[in-house]
């Protein structure tokens, strides 16, 4: 179904396949959250706690995607869960979710451009960080100007680079763990000693709960499968296929990668100043491997940024399409690109970038925190909308008429809601993550109040 509410404003092109959906999602997920924030997760939760956190986060993502899959197949629209929240929760909630998700990617894009610039400084240490951040922002904007077919192909190539690079990293790390490859500072095979060196949970369960926001941020982007359903050639067949293949692959990648990092990177050495992947490869001592991985991580972050701008522009377009912001934003050009929505998203990114340059000592974790909070709120709306959808659907239909069914409804969606709420509560236990709470909650309230004042309904 198409959800275009305005005539003569252009049309999206349904040119994405299951592989494109998969690579778009992988492109959105595998970025700074895995490559740069994983060291912070180890330092905060401990090696075993970090592995457990990513496994738990992967399960939560699985549950969210069950609900999104049912909604996206039944109603494959551009705007996805914002539209579902508006229809099956409340218009105010849909308005809030769209702006929270847009905020998530605007802030995430700023942190990713800064992260990419930091990686580039390995080769050009004397160049100001804002130069590379601006250069990468222009590059990502240019890629998003392409028609969705060419955009999907470009993102496919980008995602393939990091896909194979992570496999190689896991293999090399595994060989180092078992002593087949040498590892600096280890006279014998490191094995898994580091994982339990400080106890299973050196900072207790609070350490694990406190990093869940960063872990959720690391998985953000997987929901793009639903957002892109409106530009997919056969959503009923392609969306379920993409969900099944993508989620399992991502969870395996994240958990195996964390096992390698946690085994080779001592807890006290972890942090966010340098990509832990590069640190590990430097210690393995493979010639130029660290520089190669640095380049791979750079392309991975740019790939995630490309997907992020795609998602934020489509969400802004959806707000305009639902008459929640100016109709002028709904315009789609002849290439199927909502250019005005994309420009407005980049303005938001530019503001966040300027802020990050002036407060660079603390901005990275603060940006991750804000983006993590926003994406969990967006995720929270998905199972709630699916519960509402099921109730409405079953009034006139049977469950067998659904082409894709979220299992164990409505019990499983409610479990998903509870787990997401717990991860939000965990923010309060980590001072470095509280910026998301302090900024996110007032922003949510502001969205509801504005929507009520303008449209006279919650």
Count Cβ atoms within 10 A of the Cβ of residue 164 and give its class: 0-12 exposed, 13-18 middle, 19 or more buried: exposed
Q: With bands split at pLDDT 50, 70 and 90, how would you rate the model's confidence at 211?
A: confident
* 3 state SS of 85: helix
Residue in 450, 84, 43, 109 with CA at minimum distance from that of residue 279:
43
Residue matched to tokens 């240019």: 142
Q: What residues pair up with 232 in beta bridges, in sequence order?
A: 16
Phi, psi of 122 (to 5 degrees): -60, -35
Q: Which of 59-63, 211-215, 266-270 has the highest mean pLDDT?
A: 59-63
Residue matched to tokens 């993102």: 155
Task: Say whether pLDDT at 347 is over 70.
Answer: yes
Phi, psi of 297 (to 5 degrees): -65, -35
Residue in 289, 273, 183, 215 with CA at minimum distance from that of residue 38:
215
Q: What does the alpha-carbon distance between residue 104 and residue 90 come to, in Å, rounded to a whole number?
A: 21
- Tell me: the pLDDT tens digits for 318-333? 888 888 888 888 888 8
pTM above 0.85, yes or no: no
Residues 6+ apart with CB under 8 A from 299: 158, 161, 162
Lowest mean pLDDT, pick from 2-16, 258-272, 408-422, 443-457: 2-16
Residues in the chain: 458
CA atoms within 13 A on the CB side of 458: 3
Task: Say whether pLDDT at 68 is over 70.
Answer: yes
* Peptide bond between residue 159 and the one before it cis (omega within 30 degrees of 0): no
Distance between start and end Cα atoms, the chain: 27
For residues 179 and 190, is the Cβ–Cβ distance under 8 A? yes
Count Cβ atoms within 10 A of the Cβ of residue 138 and give its class: 0-12 exposed, 13-18 middle, 19 or more buried: exposed
For residues 79 and 3, is the Cβ–Cβ distance under 8 A? yes
Q: What residues pair up with 16 in beta bridges, in sequence order?
A: 232
- Tell me: the pLDDT tens digits for 263-274? 887 777 665 445
Residue in 359, 382, 430 with CA at minimum distance from that of residue 87:
382
Residues 6+ apart with CB under 8 A from 250: 25, 26, 29, 30, 58, 61, 219, 222
Residue in 396, 320, 319, 404 with CA at minimum distance from that of residue 85:
319
- Tell me: the pLDDT tens digits for 138-174? 999 998 888 777 777 777 787 788 788 888 889 998 9
Q: What is the mean pLDDT of the chain?
A: 81
**All domains of the chain, ordered by start, with CATH?**
18-455 (1.20.1740.10)
Percentage of the chain exceeding pLDDT 70:
88
């Amino acid at each position: 179904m198409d959800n275009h509410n305005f005539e003569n404003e252009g049309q999206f092109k349904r040119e994405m396949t299951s592989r494109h959906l998969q690579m778009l999602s992988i492109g959105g997920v595998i970025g700074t959250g895995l490559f740069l924030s994983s060291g912070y997760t180890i330092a905060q939760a401990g090696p075993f706690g970090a592995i457990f956190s990513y496994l738990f986060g992967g399960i939560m993502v699985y549950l969210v995607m069950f609900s999104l899959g049912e909604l996206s197949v039944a109603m494959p629209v551009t705007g996805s869960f914002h539209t579902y929240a508006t229809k099956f929760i409340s218009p105010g909630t849909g308005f809030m979710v769209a702006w929270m998700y847009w905020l998530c990617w605007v802030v995430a894009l700023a942190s990713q451009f800064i992260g990419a610039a930091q990686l580039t400084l390995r080769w050009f240490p004397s160049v100001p960080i804002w130069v590379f951040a601006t250069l990468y922002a222009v590059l990502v904007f240019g890629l998003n100007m392409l028609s969705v077919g060419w955009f999907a192909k470009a993102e496919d190539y980008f995602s393939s680079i990091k896909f194979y690079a992570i496999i190689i990293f896991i293999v090399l790390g595994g060989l180092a763990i078992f002593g087949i490859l040498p590892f600096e500072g280890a006279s014998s095979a490191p094995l898994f000693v580091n994982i339990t060196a400080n106890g299973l949970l050196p900072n207790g369960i609070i350490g694990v709960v406190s990093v869940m926001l960063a872990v959720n941020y690391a998985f953000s982007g997987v929901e793009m499968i639903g957002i892109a359903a409106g530009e997919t050639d056969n959503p009923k067949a392609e969306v379920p296929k993409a969900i099944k293949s993508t989620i399992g692959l991502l969870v395996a990648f994240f958990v195996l990668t964390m096992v390698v990092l946690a085994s080779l990177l001592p807890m006290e050495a972890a942090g966010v100043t340098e990509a832990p992947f590069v640190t590990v490869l430097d210690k393995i001592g493979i010639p130029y491997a660290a520089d190669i991985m640095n380049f791979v991580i750079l392309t991975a972050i740019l790939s995630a940024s490309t997907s992020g701008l795609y998602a934020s522009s489509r969400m802004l377009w959806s707000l305009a399409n639902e008459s929640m912001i100016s109709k002028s934003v709904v315009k789609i050009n002849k290439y199927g690109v909502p250019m005005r929505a994309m420009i407005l998203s980049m303005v938001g990114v530019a503001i966040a970038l300027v802020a990050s340059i002036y407060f660079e000592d603390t901005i990275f974790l603060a940006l991750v925190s804000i983006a993590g909070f926003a994406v969990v709120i967006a995720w929270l709306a998905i199972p709630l909308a699916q519960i509402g959808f099921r109730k409405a659907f079953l009034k006139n239909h049977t469950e067998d008429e659904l082409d894709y069914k979220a299992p164990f409804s409505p019990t499983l969606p409610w479990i998903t809601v509870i787990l997401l709420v717990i991860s939000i509560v965990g923010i309060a236990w980590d001072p470095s993550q509280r910026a998301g709470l302090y900024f996110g909650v007032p922003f949510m309230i502001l969205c509801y109040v504005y929507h009520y004042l303008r449209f006279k309904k919650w």
